[in-house]
Every structure is written in C-alpha cells, then in structure tokens.
Chains A and B, each alone.
Chain A
Amino acid sequence: MAAGGVRTVPRSAGMIATEVAAEPVATPLDYWRLLKPNVMQLVVFTGAVGLYLAPGTIHPLLGFVAVLAIALGAGACAAINNAYDADIDRQMRRTRGRPTATGRIAPAEALGTGIALALIAVMLMGLALNWLAAGLLAFTILFYLVVYTLFLKRRTPQNIVIGGVAGALPPVVGWAAVTGDVGLPPLLLFLIVFLWTPPHFWSLALYRNEDYRRAGVPMLPVVAGRRRTLRYIFAYALAVSLAGLLPVAVGAAGALYGLVALVAGAMFTGVAWRLLRTGRDEVARRGFRVSVLYLFLIFLGLVVDHAVFDAFGS
C-alpha cells in the first residue's frame, strides 16, 4: 500500500507486470460517513416533525418516502460538501478523519454520489408527494451547496447565518409534502431553526477556534474575536428562545408546548449567559450540547403537544 492511501496494484495475469496506481476502495462505512449521519439525523428529525404537524393525512408509505427524500437530500449536501471541502477538512482535527480528507473516497466520487443522491431525492419527492415539496428540497440543496459551500463558507463570518436558511428549510419541506402549500406554522419552525443555527455553530467555533484559524475558515471567533462572539451567541440564544414561544402566541401550539419552550429557552439562554460571563471553552462545549438539546426539546414538544391535542381535543 502506498502512502496517502493510494493503492498500487500489479496488473493481473496475461498482462505485462507493471505497477499502476489505483483508487483505494472505501468500505460501506466510509460511504455512510460521507453522508454526515449526525447532521442528517437532525435534518430528518425536523423534517419529519414538519410533516407530522401538517394538517391532513397521507399514506404511511408516502410519509416514509418524504422523510427518505429529505434524508437523501441531506446526504447529497454532505457528500458534495465533503468533495469540495476536502482541502480544509484535512487541516482540521474535527474533520480530518472524513473519507474525502483521508483519501479513501476521491472527491470526484463523492461529487458523483452527491449528485446522484440529490437527483433521486428530488425525483422521489416530486413523483411520490408533490412538486412544491420537491422544488423546496431542490432549493435547499442548491442553497446549501452554491450559496453556503461555494460562496459564503470561506469568505465571510456571516457564512452560517445566511447558510442557516438551508438547515432551517426541512420542516417547511415536510409540511409542504403533506399539504402542497406553505403556511405560518412551518415558517415559524423555519425561524426557530434559522435563529438557532448561529449560536450552535459559534459555540463549536469557540472551542475549535484553532482548527478554523488553521484552515482559514472565517468563523466569527476567528474574525471578530472571542468577546464579540460571546455577545452574539447570547443575543441569538435570547432571540431563538423568544421565537420558540411564537407558535403558542399565534395559536399553532398549546400550553404544554409553551411550557417546554419556556424551560428549554431558559436553559439555552442561561448557558449562553454563563458563557458570556466566563468565556471558557468547557462552557462553550456545554453550550453546544445544550443547543442540540434545545432544538430536540422544542420539536419534541411540538409533537407531544399536537398528539395530546389530537387525543383529547382543546
């Protein structure tokens, strides 16, 4: 095996024995990692909640297909992002094990996989559900790849603020898959995820600051410094905690959800406040974990509230 994971194989019998460079063959696990399953989980979860909350019913198989299409779309984004960012992924401790960074999957193969998955996802959504949902899914994929990955990520500290549009759209896609239109409730879910994204990634960027600096990615702590980032994290955490109450204010969710949103919001704002006061890395790590928990609780709260309302009425 040659260095860097590129395999050198002798040609087989009947041919002149010579050495040719061949691509390494990745394991199925490498392809799974290419799709960033952790990110996919969150996207699938928020998309599925959007689908569940939407008024109306669809056949369970079509519901499954809608969630599958959202998952494939997320996987497509991850694969193409991995292909494009292999150079910076190699320089960051958090990402240097990714299959495109290690060379186990060639960027061209990751790109091909991503394009195939994106086409399948959009076609599945369009043929099985409706073309509004398919169009929104296609827009999400293109926004993530063109606007975020190609234009914003390496250029501006606003990368994840504007790029957050893509991560916030899956609940809208899920809703549109059932209803064929977009109402106020999915737009509120969009707003919650959109406001949640910056404090989530800036907490990560705080304790991975050296990684981003080395790779030349202009995350806010790298460009604007730690103090300013802490203030922004707090402001966004407060904003998302207030936005989390909007579904109750507009009558899209009940008191049970309101209680969950209050507690989760207090938790998120509380850790952001502590981070602002201390600025310590371990608090930033905790902030990152709490942000994930916040989003999970908010969406779970909506599901439980909806289920209780369905079972017992108002």
Chain B
Amino acid sequence: MSLDDREFRRRQRTKNLLLGGLLVALAVLFYLVTLVRLGGN
C-alpha cells in the first residue's frame, strides 16, 4: 500500500467517523428535544 493510498484511507476513515459522530449527536439532540417538549416547557 503506497503512502498515497494510506492517506486516502485515513481520510476516508476520518470522514466516516465524523459522519457517524454527527449522526449520534443528532439522535441525542432529538432525544433531548423530545424530553423538553414532553416536559411541558
């Protein structure tokens, strides 16, 4: 595997992890919003 290839895969992995993190954060946010809305605030 060339250096270019390793860099390519590293960036792809970083992108995937970031995207996964953002989706989890969004799910948590929706959950918290639901709690607040159901709490009557």
Contact = CB atoms under 8 A, between A and B. Distances in A.
Contacts of B37: 127-128
Contacts of B33: 61-62, 65, 124, 127-128
Contacts of B36: 59, 61-62, 128
Contacts of A68: 29
A25 B8 contact: yes
B41 A7 contact: no
B4 A7 contact: yes
Contacts of B41: 58-59, 62
Nearest to B2: A10
Interface residues of B, number: 16
B4 A28 contact: no
A27 B11 contact: yes
A17 interface: no
A124 B29 CA distance: 9
Contacts, number: 41
A127 B35 CA distance: 12
Contacts of B24: none
B3 to A, nearest CB: 11
Contacts of A311: none
A120 interface: yes
A9 interface: yes
Contacts of B14: 27-28
A68 B33 CA distance: 13
Interface in B11-37: 11-12, 14-15, 18, 26, 29-30, 32-33, 36-37
Given A7-B4, A9-B5, A25-B8, A65 B29 contact: yes
28 contacts: A1-B4, A7-B4, A7-B8, A9-B5, A10-B5, A22-B8, A25-B8, A25-B11, A25-B12, A25-B15, A26-B11, A27-B11, A27-B14, A28-B14, A28-B15, A59-B36, A61-B32, A61-B33, A61-B36, A62-B36, A65-B29, A68-B29, A120-B26, A124-B29, A124-B30, A127-B30, A127-B37, A128-B36
